[in-house]
Structure 1
Amino acid sequence: MMLAAQAEQYLPMIRRVRRRTFPGVWQGCDVEEMESEGVIGLVKGLQSYDASRGPIEPYLWRRIQGAMLDWARREDRLSRGQRRLQRTREETMERLRAELGREPDDGEVAAALGLDLAEYQATHDAWQNHAHITTVRGEDGDEVGILDLLANDDPDPEAHLERKQVLERLRLHIEELPERDRAIIRMYFLEDVTMAEIAAVLGVSVPRVSQLVKRILGNLRERLINEGITC
């Protein structure tokens, strides 16, 4: 059977996988784009399938699901704490626009959020820069979130192996960081500690914490690039 005909036969599976894997979607999620990634996973699955992999439908399900999970990780790289604060910021800005009849300035948004201006601006800078700083590209050209790798459970065996290899290198480089840098990575990305709380622990300003995070991630990114994981 031709590849196009095979793909058409299994297209209904894509929506079933999406609904089962993502019963709810987050604000701004492009469902059509997610399902398009599922189509790519389906085609790659059909191309790589052979009988030694077992029944075809469970195999294709894993490939489609893996493609969608990869897409979701690329689209949603912020930590849980950052996402909560970002949603609160968006809601606050919408409320202030209605109350003021104009676009609120940073000072007004910061005050409404209960943050000082420096902390708000540092956090906003982190949102703006996070996606660029914390992503690398594997040999297949797909973007990989550096810190997302720490909790990756990709069901696609081939993608899982590639990510595992990158993860091993990343963990090694994190272990080689100075103790303070390791602590910052742990607090900010794995424990959802805010920049203000990290600043209090380290005895530095919030903008300084933002600078440290950027420097550490830039360092990790450069080390991975030097090992052939190109950006």
Structure 2
Amino acid sequence: MYTAKGTLNRDDQLKKYSPLVRRLAHHMIAKLPPSVEIDDLIQVGMIGLTEAIARYEPSQGVQFETFASQRIRGAMIDELRDGDWMSRGSRKSQKDIEQAVHRLQQKLHRVPKESEIAAEMGLSLPDYQALLAKVRGTQLVYLEDISGGGDDEENFLDRHMGDTEADPSSVLQDQRMRMALVEAIKTLPEREQHIMSMYYEHDMNLKEIAAVLGVTESRVCQLHSQSIARLRAKMREH
């Protein structure tokens, strides 16, 4: 495992821990838009692993796998940031919608209507629908949730991490989180429940869903974005 100089054998470690890179990449890709390629994450993850091997010092008292995991995930997150997979403006707009839904749910004690969300945001219904189409919400988890960045009050995943040393990238594997998500989906309007089911359970694209519902693809996109905002707002209550 070590060379004559007392450093880790690079080739042995790359071979041993490459499955770790793939595992971390698959955990992360599940929470990202379809435009992010798994092979790209694995590639940058391997670079992170190589850097971890070069920088690891046993005297620090940290197990190599723990040290490497941090480096690998850090490399992947840096790549996502550099690639700007979701623009800063779109992220803000999506969070603005989420927060408006959350405020209305607290005030009305029911699922708010589309027109009510628009009014809460000070927008006309057409302008609100145009915003939904623009943000194209495609994930339940933001990069800030995965990396631990962002405001604490908005980073709702933190509240589901019973063990403070737990890996944020695997939070959605937690049974409580899964149960809460299932219950949250049940609170969606019926049409939005159908869209979420077709998109995530049956792996249908927006065009196929639009054909089933008899609406335009852009309308499905709007409703999907709105569903994501509703779910995130609901999950913050748990």
TM-score under structure 1 length normalisation:
0.42
Greater fraction of residues in helix: 1
